[in-house]
């Protein structure tokens, strides 16, 4: 008997995770791997967070929590907005989620009906496109380039044909690391608000910036702000993030959250609360990313890979390698097979132009980043 598999389940894979699996298989076979493929800090959760988790396991029941999260964490997140951005956010607007990924599902479901049209930039984080597709929401891909620092502008949005219900932006962005200035984000937020377009602002890389000021959309009356403990806080596997919601979405998100997830893992919430007090350790991680960034910025052009915008934040370089290949997938596979250097083909982020681009992530240990640059240079010399 043939059973049905839903069309919604037929979305594209998240290729980064497939590269991760191939790299894992190589490592399991005892071969070296230099992990520049995934945006995953090579450090564990900060010590204070790990200690808080151990204490919570020993001392608490760790049952269900209120769907929006434990009260002290919601209050601490609200305090973070006051301290960091000078923005007053009521704790009732904070909703703790299973990573930002869980936050996106809730935000998309609460903000958009099936058939709505949401604008994404090309290149952008592939799960936006894939999750929206699984939810029956149409995506409109707007190509961006170095002229707008790979970010959308009101001028680009004006050119979109047909109705627009939403816009997803990320600053710093994955895969380019480019950022929106406070002015540019404010202009986008105002453009969206005036037109009834729901802005979803992915701020998951905040805290990892190299000089440029970070701005939040949390002050906009209609935008949804998405954030996470995965990147700056180095807690990917703990699956904890948060939304700052506009007033009109708080009830919908709470009811969706109650039904879909019940709550975010309780132990992770206690660990996340403690992570806010681990600044020194976390700033040490950011200094390492800055050193690694410098290594790439000098090594890549020296080997002929110079067509990229220096990243303002996050830990990625998104480079054009059109002079080397028009099949970035095959290029990355060969590079991994022959050298153990794992990087990500651009097709994950831009299905039209990504066959000529790759993303290198530099949050790994500095020795691994240095070794990867030497191996990549030798690989290109052999190829060329
Ligand atoms: C731009 C962006 N948003 C969201 C996520 C999802 O992260 P998480 O669910 O771990 O918070 C990632 C992960 O790499 C990302 O790069």
For the chain, the average pLDDT equals 94
Cβ atoms within 10 Å of 325's Cβ, excluding its own: 17
What confidence category does residue 375 fall into, taking pLDDT thresholds of 50, 70 and 90? Answer: very high
What confidence category does residue 14 fall into, taking pLDDT thresholds of 50, 70 and 90? Answer: confident
Instruction: Report how far ligand 1's centroid is from the alpha carbon of 59 (Å).
Output: 31
Question: In which element (H, E) is residue 343 found?
Answer: none
What confidence category does residue 27 fall into, taking pLDDT thresholds of 50, 70 and 90? Answer: confident
pLDDT confidence of residue 351: 85
Q: What are 257-306's pLDDT values in tens digits?
A: 999 999 999 999 999 999 999 999 999 999 999 999 999 999 999 999 88
> Averaged over 92-119, what is the pLDDT?
97
**Is pLDDT at 26 greater than 90 in this prediction?**
no
- Per the CB < 8 A criterion, the answer to whether 39 and 289 are in contact is no
Backbone angles phi, psi at 34, to 5 degrees: -115, 105
Ligand 1 probe mutation, 123, 228, 236, 363, most atoms within 8 A of CB: 228
Ligand 1 atom closest to the CA of 236, numbered from 1:
10
pLDDT confidence of residue 38: 83
> Averaged over 122-129, what is the pLDDT?
93
pLDDT confidence of residue 1: 75
Which regions of the chain carry the CATH code 3.40.640.10?
15-45+280-383, 47-278
Instruction: Report how far ligand 1's centroid is from the alpha carbon of 99 (Å).
Output: 8
Global confidence as pTM: 0.94
Pair of tokens at residue 154: 């009101």
Is the C-beta atom of 124 inside 6 A of ligand 1? no
Domain 15-45+280-383 matching CATH 3.40.640.10: the answer reads yes
Ligand 1 atom closest to the CA of 101, numbered from 1:
9
- CATH, range 47-278: 3.40.640.10
Pair of tokens at residue 364: 């790994």
Nearest to 340 by CA among 22, 32, 39, 18: 32
Instruction: Report how far ligand 1's centroid is from the alpha carbon of 63 (Å).
Output: 26
Each residue of 368-380: b (16+ CB within 10 Å) or e? Answer: bbbbbbebbbebe
Q: What are 145-163's pLDDT values in tens digits?
A: 988 989 999 999 999 999 9
> In terms of DSSP H, where are the helices of the chain?
15-28, 47-59, 71-85, 99-111, 126-134, 154-158, 182-195, 250-260, 266-275, 279-302, 328-339, 366-383
């Amino acid at each position: 008997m043939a059973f049905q598999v839903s069309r919604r389940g037929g979305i594209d894979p998240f290729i980064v995770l497939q590269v991760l699996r191939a790299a894992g298989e190589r490592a399991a076979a005892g071969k070296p791997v230099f992990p520049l493929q995934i945006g995953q800090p090579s450090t564990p959760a900060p010590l204070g967070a790990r200690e808080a988790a151990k204490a919570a396991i020993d001392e608490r029941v760790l049952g269900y929590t209120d769907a929006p999260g434990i009260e002290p964490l919601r209050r601490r997140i609200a305090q973070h907005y006051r301290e960091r951005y000078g923005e007053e956010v009521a704790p009732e607007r904070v909703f703790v989620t299973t990573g930002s990924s869980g936050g996106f599902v809730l935000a998309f479901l609460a903000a958009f009906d099936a058939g709505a049209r949401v604008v994404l930039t090309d290149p952008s984080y592939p799960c936006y496109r894939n999750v929206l597709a699984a939810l029956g929401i149409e995506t409109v891909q707007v190509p961006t380039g170095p002229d707008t620092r790979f970010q959308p502008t009101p001028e680009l949005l004006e050119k979109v044909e047909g109705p627009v219900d939403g816009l997803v932006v990320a600053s710093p962005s994955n895969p380019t690391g480019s950022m929106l200035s406070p002015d540019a984000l404010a202009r986008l937020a105002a453009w969206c608000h005036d037109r009834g377009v729901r802005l979803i602002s992915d701020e998951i890389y905040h805290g990892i910036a190299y000089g440029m000021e970070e701005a939040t959309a949390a002050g906009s009356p209609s935008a949804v702000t998405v954030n996470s403990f995965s990147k700056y806080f180095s807690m990917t596997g703990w699956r904890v993030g948060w939304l700052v919601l506009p007033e009109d979405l708080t009830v919908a998100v709470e009811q969706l959250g109650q039904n879909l997830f019940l709550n975010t893992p309780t132990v992770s919430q206690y660990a996340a609360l403690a992570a806010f007090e681990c600044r020194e350790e976390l700033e040490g991680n950011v200094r390492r990313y800055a050193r690694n960034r410098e290594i790439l910025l000098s090594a890549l052009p020296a080997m002929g890979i110079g067509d990229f915008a220096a990243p303002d934040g996050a830990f990625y370089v998104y480079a054009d390698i059109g002079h080397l290949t028009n099949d970035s997938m095959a290029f990355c596979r060969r590079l991994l097979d022959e050298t153990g250097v794992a990087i990500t083909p651009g097709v994950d982020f831009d299905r039209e132009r990504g066959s000529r681009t790759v993303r290198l992530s530099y949050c790994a240990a500095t020795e691994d980043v240095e070794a990867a640059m030497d191996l990549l240079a030798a690989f290109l010399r052999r190829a060329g």
